[in-house]
Amino acid sequence: MALAQDLESQFSKDTWPSEAMIQPADPGSKRASLVKRASRGLARFLIIFCIGVTATLAWQSYGNAAREMIANSFPQLGWLVPSASSSPEQKLKAMSTDFATVRQRVDQVAANQQRMAGDIAKLMADQQELLQKISVPLPQAAAVPVRR
């Protein structure tokens, strides 16, 4: 009990709140804090950037092997693997086949365009014919005498 009284006397109710003062923060410490935060942010950015560059270079170097491993593990993802059995001659043949298909499609588009041009010309001729029929004056009926 004596200990409690000693503590009460050291920290009396009158002196405790009045002596406690909040000191304003040092402006230099805010600047240091800002610099620390900025440097941490920059460090994080550089670490993430380096990880991204490393991942890109690794994918370029080992991408085909990774694709094959994925395709072997999951057959439904087999489309990821380029056909390794394709020789340059087979690739050239496939490209020429693709080129022939593109050429055929272009020819079809040109033919459709020609047909549309003919259809447009026919529609314009029909429109002119209708305008001429409309513009011809109708024969006037004989005047009927009006009785009064």
Higher pLDDT: 112 or 12? It is 112
Please say if the pLDDT value at position 126 is more than 90: yes
Count the neighbouring beta carbons within 10 Å of the beta carbon of residue 91.
11
Where do the domains of the chain lie?
A: 30-84, 86-134
Please say if the pLDDT value at position 60 is more than 90: no
Dist CA 33 CA 41 (whole Å): 12
Query: 3-state SS of the chain: helix, strand, coil percent to 5?
Result: 80, 0, 20
The model's pTM? 0.31
Task: Note the pLDDT tens digit of each residue in 20-29.
Answer: 555 555 555 6
